[in-house]
Amino acid sequence: MGLGIYVNNALTAPKLEGLTGELTQKTSQLSSLQTQLDSLQVDYNEALGDLAQVTQQYNDLTENSVTRVEYEELEEDYESLLESHQDQTEEVALLQATNQNLVATNTELSTEYQKLLVKYNELRMLSWTAFIAGNLRVNLTVTTNNYPYNMPVTGTINIHYLDGRPYDGRVQLLVWSDYNKMGTTSPTITVTGTTQYTFVAPFLSGPGNYFLLVSSIKDSSGKEIVSYNDLLMYRISLMMG
């Protein structure tokens, strides 16, 4: 019995020691693993916190990214509008410069036109008119077509019969303003063939365009030979002022 216990102990003790050593080793490994696990848990918790922070940042960025896109779109629209405004400003400046050039050109042309108009009026304003009324040949002339103020109109009136004989009679002249629809009639002028006349201060409507015409032709006794209606188309243009 005693021998059996001894033998059993002798056999069991080494196993027990081996198991104890293995258990100690496993315990040490377990402790080391636990330490690593604790360290990993700390790292995991830190990583989890970082993940939560990054997730929040991502969400914030996602929300802000919409605003950023809208901002970029608005910025593009602004740049486009600014460029269009600059183009329009340049176009307006060009049009203004062109308009100024046209105004200057128009002023020059207007000045030149006025000069040409004066010259044209001088050329077209003949200093005479001639016509036949009944059996009379009439020629009316003026010394000048232009009068700086209300000064006398002078000239000649020549009336002959168609056969060449001088006409003896009476005439009246009229200085007429179409614009004001009024005129001035001269005193009676006695005519014998060719006669010089002076029509004093006939321009009663102020500066402007006038016409000189024979308003009546009468014989020496005062009888009307040619009426006004037959004479009014034969005019000489005058300019006063």
Summarised one tens digit per residue, pLDDT across range 144-173 is: 999 999 999 999 999 999 999 999 999 999
C-alpha–C-alpha distance, residues 65 and 43, integer Å: 31
Pairing of strands 224-226, 182-185: unpaired
- Residue 194: CB atoms within 10 Å: 13
How high does pLDDT run on average in the chain? 82
- 131 and 216: one domain? yes
In a domain, 23, yes or no: no
- For the stretch 25-44, pLDDT in tens is 777 776 776 777 677 777 77
- In this prediction, residue 117 carries a pLDDT of 54
Contact 216, 231 (CB under 8 A): yes
- 148 and 224: one domain? yes
- The answer to whether residue 64 scores a pLDDT higher than 90 is no
Burial of 238 (0-12, 13-18, 19+ CB in 10 A): buried
In a domain, 144, yes or no: yes
C-alpha 19, offset from chain centre: 109
- 206 and 223: one domain? yes
C-alpha–C-alpha distance, residues 207 and 53, integer Å: 97
In a domain, 18, yes or no: no
Task: Decide which of 124, 156, 171 is a domain's last residue.
Answer: 124
Task: Decide which of 106, 124, 142 is a domain's last residue.
Answer: 124
Contact 97, 89 (CB under 8 A): no
Residue-range definition of the domain harbouring residue 81: 28-124
- 147 and 223: one domain? yes
In a domain, 17, yes or no: no
* Averaged pLDDT, 107-128: 67
- In this prediction, residue 73 carries a pLDDT of 76
Total count of domains within the chain: 2
Segment holding 197, helix H or strand E: strand 194-199
pTM of the complete model: 0.51
Of 141, 151, 135, which is closest to residue 219 (Cα–Cα)? Answer: 135
